[in-house]
Amino acid sequence: NAGVTQTPKFQVLKTGQSMTLQCAQDMNHNSMYWYRQDPGMGLRLIYYSASEGTTDKGEVPNGYNVSRLNKREFSLRLESAAPSQTSVYFCASSEPRGKGETQYFGPGTRLLVL
């Protein structure tokens, strides 16, 4: 049982380049999330998917797109990377409210945009 996995672990991009961050979970959770972590700001929600086939914006969605490929996989795409998107990105999945509520996090992707 791997839990939540993310690829890549680390990436360096030049301004304007695009990339996709991959996330997969094997816990059969309906809901999945993408957060970014910046020093002194905690984690902020970028996008989430309450269930397969749905996605919604979080607190900081500008500059990102997501795809819920199937129940297991939820990807985050940066179409034109900017230095302000330098951050650590975490994917998570969760049990529904009333059935545990716990969010399980992946190990993170460190992204540096030059």
103 touching another protein, by CB under 8 A: yes
CB of 89 to another protein, least distance (A): 11
What are 107's strand-pairing partners? none
Q: Check residue 90 for interaction with another protein (CB under 8 A).
A: yes
Task: For residue 35, give both structure tokens.
Answer: 């957060």
Q: Which of residues 60-89 bind another protein (CB under 8 A)?
A: none
Please state, in angstroms and rounded to a whole number, the distance separating the CA atoms of residues 92 and 99: 16
Question: In terms of DSSP bridges, do strands 10-13 and 109-113 run parallel, antiparallel, or are they unpaired?
Answer: parallel
Q: Provide, rounded to whole angstroms, the least separation between the CB of residue 77 and another protein.
A: 20
Dihedral, 45, 69, 79, 88 alpha carbons, nearest 10: 40
CA distance 100 to 77: 29
In contact, 28 and 80? CB cutoff 8 Å: no
* Among the residue ranges 13-21, 61-69, 71-79, 90-98, the one whose residues contact another protein (CB under 8 A): 90-98
Q: Does 7 bind another protein (CB under 8 A)?
A: no
**In this complex, which beta carbon is closest to another protein, that of residue 44 or of residue 71?**
44
- Which residues sit at the interface with another protein, rule CB under 8 A? 4, 30-31, 33, 40-45, 48-51, 56, 58, 90, 92, 94-98, 101-108
